């Protein structure tokens, strides 16, 4: 740099046309107009620096523009993708929100297709019409039924245990009875577990719904409950009778005690179905008003709600003494009852006096699986309460151990499974008005230990000249089968 400066000062031929310093390039200046080096730097350095910086800024701006234009397609793609993702997220949120708000609703119909209006809910009052075929033929009963009504299809789920139902149907066919009917209920909530019947003439009907059969000694359940609760009797209250247990004559109804008088207790009279003892209870202890009151409490002379049309069980309580005796002991052919109602009597005794409303249909759905009906277990009445209810259960258990059905249930208790069961029963037998047929009844209950699993069983057998399988034998077989399956 020093040599170049010396040459520039002397002006030699080899003097350079430009002077370089470490930062700037300056043009050649003749000696006469030469400016001192420091003033030259001050004058020209500012001018050239500013232009250079502007030029550099322009270059950088141009470079950035080129880089931006180069990256523009990528930026456009990224922006479009981001917008698409945002739209998808918003749409998904709206879709989920709409699904939640419309949960359980029918989806909209496709374009051009008319949306069917949802079927109205079904009430219990609608069930008899919906199940009218079963009313006429119990063999159609199953756990699932599909029926058509007014052009609509319904799926009906029932409380029927199909294995037990088929077993009972086979049992009745082999019974050699003219007619027979069986109802099995859950003793706690009234669910119908099985309901079957048989007619030897092949008639298709549902005998369990008909109140055409004399109640016979089953009515002693009502009379005993009234004596326990209304009159303060206990199972060991002493009672007296004359003559044979199964007859009922006016001479047996006198209150006199003599050498022909026999002492007994309420539980023995109930277990052995003593007509004269219960006849005297009707005349001297209960009377017309109390008998009528408790008959209604136990479901007589009043409609019992059910999913199928159930006939009312009629009773007329007369005012005369012998009429009261006949009603109280069941030794008459005017007090009628249906097999389903008979089963409810045992259910009340097993369930601390509470009589449940029987029910058969659990749920009903339409073709789109929308639930139109759902059953709720309810109580019909509590005809007897407290200690009287416990004593009534005891009377029926004593009858199963020591009464008219003792030999049958002894076979059941010998089995290990049933040693700790509570089993109660009441039987009844009476002929028809023309003495052509024998009506053979039993209503019973069986409760497993713990009280959470129990059934009530009602069996009717109508026998002709040939005595078929007794109702007690069928009840024992049904209880045995149910708790083994």
Q: How far apart are the first and last CA of the chain?
A: 118
Check whether residue 71 and residue 215 sit in a common domain.
Answer: no
Query: Per-residue confidence at 37, pLDDT binned at 50, 70, 90?
Result: very low
Query: Per-residue confidence at 83, pLDDT binned at 50, 70, 90?
Result: confident
Check whether residue 10 and residue 43 sit in a common domain.
Answer: no
Least confident of 98-102, 195-199, 358-362: 98-102
User: Domain for residue 130, yes or no?
Assistant: no
CA distance 406 to 460: 18
Whether residue 142 contacts residue 164, with contact meaning beta carbons closer than 8 Å, is answered with no
Place of tokens 């007296």: 240
CA distance 282 to 432: 23
User: Domain for residue 24, yes or no?
Assistant: yes
**pTM of the shown model:** 0.76
| Angstrom distances, CA of residue 100 to CA of 86, 109, 254, 352 | 21, 18, 78, 46
pLDDT of the residue at 185? 98
Place of tokens 């209150």: 255
Check whether residue 43 and residue 23 sit in a common domain.
Answer: no
Residue 125 has pLDDT above 70, yes or no: yes
User: Domain for residue 451, yes or no?
Assistant: yes
* Angle value at C-alpha 372, between 370 and 376, nearest 5 degrees: 125
Whether residue 172 contacts residue 184, with contact meaning beta carbons closer than 8 Å, is answered with no
Residue 403 has pLDDT above 80, yes or no: yes
User: Domain for residue 369, yes or no?
Assistant: yes
User: Domain for residue 118, yes or no?
Assistant: no
Structural domains of the chain, count = 3
Check whether residue 366 and residue 248 sit in a common domain.
Answer: yes
Whether residue 195 contacts residue 202, with contact meaning beta carbons closer than 8 Å, is answered with no
Check whether residue 77 and residue 183 sit in a common domain.
Answer: no
Q: Which of 43, 59, 90 is the last residue of a domain?
A: 90
User: Domain for residue 409, yes or no?
Assistant: yes
Quick check: helix, strand or coil at residue 359?
strand
Residue 290 has pLDDT above 50, yes or no: yes
Least confident of 95-104, 118-127, 170-179: 95-104
User: Domain for residue 117, yes or no?
Assistant: no
DSSP E strands, 324-410:
336-337, 355-356, 361-365, 371-374, 379-381
Check whether residue 73 and residue 160 sit in a common domain.
Answer: no
CA distance 135 to 130: 10
Check whether residue 165 and residue 86 sit in a common domain.
Answer: no
Check whether residue 400 and residue 304 sit in a common domain.
Answer: yes
Q: For the chain, how are helix, strand and coil distributed in percent, rounded to 5?
A: 45, 20, 35
Residue 43 has pLDDT above 50, yes or no: no
Check whether residue 62 and residue 163 sit in a common domain.
Answer: no
Q: Which of 68, 90, 112 is the last residue of a domain?
A: 90
Q: Which of 70, 90, 110 is the last residue of a domain?
A: 90
Helix (H) or strand (E) run with residue 223 in it: helix 220-230
Query: Per-residue confidence at 97, pLDDT binned at 50, 70, 90?
Result: low
pLDDT (mean) for 354-362: 98
CB contact set of 43 (below 8 Å; sequence gap of 6+):
35
Check whether residue 69 and residue 205 sit in a common domain.
Answer: no
Check whether residue 280 and residue 425 sit in a common domain.
Answer: yes
Number of Cα atoms under 13 Å in the Cβ half of residue 34: 13
Residue 370 has pLDDT above 90, yes or no: yes
| Angstrom distances, CA of residue 381 to CA of 249, 297, 398 | 35, 7, 25
CA distance 125 to 148: 18
Smallest Cα–Cα separation from 245: which of 270, 225, 281, 221? 270
Q: What is the mean pLDDT of the chain?
A: 87
Quick check: helix, strand or coil at residue 146?
strand
Whether residue 307 contacts residue 131, with contact meaning beta carbons closer than 8 Å, is answered with yes
Residue 92 has pLDDT above 80, yes or no: no
- DSSP string computed for 415-471: SGGGTT-EEEEEEEEEE-TTSS-EEEEEEEEEE-TTSSSEEEEEEEEEE-SS--S-H
Residue 215 maps to which CATH number? 3.40.710.10
Residue 46 has pLDDT above 90, yes or no: no
Check whether residue 75 and residue 160 sit in a common domain.
Answer: no
CA distance 439 to 179: 10
Domain limits for position 8: 1-29
User: Domain for residue 160, yes or no?
Assistant: yes
pLDDT of the residue at 203? 87
Quick check: helix, strand or coil at residue 230?
helix
Smallest Cα–Cα separation from 395: which of 436, 453, 353, 332? 353
């Amino acid at each position: 740099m020093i040599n170049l400066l010396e040459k520039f000062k002397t002006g030699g031929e080899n003097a350079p046309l430009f002077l370089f310093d470490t930062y700037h390039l300056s043009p050649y200046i003749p000696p006469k107009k030469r400016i001192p080096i420091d003033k030259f730097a001050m004058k020209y350095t500012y001018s050239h620096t500013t232009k250079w910086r502007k030029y550099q800024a322009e270059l950088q701006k141009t470079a950035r523009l080129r880089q931006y234009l180069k990256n523009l397609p990528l930026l456009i793609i990224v922006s479009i993708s981001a917008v698409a993702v945002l739209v998808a997220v918003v749409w998904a949120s709206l879709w989920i929100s709409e699904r939640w708000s419309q949960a359980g609703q029918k989806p909209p119909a496709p374009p051009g297709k008319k949306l069917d209006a949802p079927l109205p809910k079904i009430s219990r009052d609608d069930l008899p019409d919906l199940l009218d075929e079963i009313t006429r033929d119990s063999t159609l009963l199953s756990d699932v039924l599909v029926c058509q009504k007014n052009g609509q299809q319904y799926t009906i789920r029932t409380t029927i245990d199909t294995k037990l139902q088929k077993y009972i149907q086979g049992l009745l066919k082999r019974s050699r009875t003219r007619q027979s009917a069986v109802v099995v209920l859950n003793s706690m909530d009234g669910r119908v577990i099985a309901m079957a019947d048989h007619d030897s003439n092949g008639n298709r009907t549902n005998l369990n719904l008909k109140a055409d059969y004399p109640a016979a000694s089953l009515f002693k359940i009502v009379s005993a409950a009234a004596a326990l609760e209304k009159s303060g009797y206990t199972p060991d209250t002493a009672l007296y009778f004359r003559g044979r247990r199964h007859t009922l004559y006016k001479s047996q109804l006198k209150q006199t005690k003599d050498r022909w008088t026999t002492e007994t207790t309420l539980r023995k009279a109930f277990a052995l179905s003593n007509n004269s003892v219960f006849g005297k209870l009707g005349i001297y202890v209960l009377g017309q008003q109390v008998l009528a009151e408790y008959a209604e409490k136990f479901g007589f002379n009043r409609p019992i709600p059910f999913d199928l049309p159930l006939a009312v069980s009629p009773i007329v309580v007369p005012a005369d003494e012998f009429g009261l005796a006949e009603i109280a002991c069941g030794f008459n052919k005017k007090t009628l009852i249906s097999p389903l109602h008979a089963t409810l009597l045992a259910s009340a005794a097993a369930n601390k006096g509470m009589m449940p409303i029987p029910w058969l249909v659990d749920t009903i759905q339409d073709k789109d699986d929308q639930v139109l009906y759902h059953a709720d277990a309810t109580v019909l009445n509590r005809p007897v309460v407290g200690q009287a209810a416990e004593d009534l259960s005891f009377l029926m258990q004593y009858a199963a151990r020591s009464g008219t059905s003792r030999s049958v249930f002894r076979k059941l208790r010998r089995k290990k499974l049933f040693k700790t069961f509570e089993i109660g029963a009441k039987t009844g037998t009476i002929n028809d008005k023309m003495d052509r047929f024998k009506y053979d009844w039993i209503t019973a209950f069986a409760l497993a230990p713990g009280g959470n699993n129990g059934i009530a069983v009602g069996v009717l057998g109508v026998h002709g000249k040939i005595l078929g399988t007794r109702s007690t034998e069928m009840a024992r077989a049904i209880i045995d089968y149910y708790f083994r399956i």
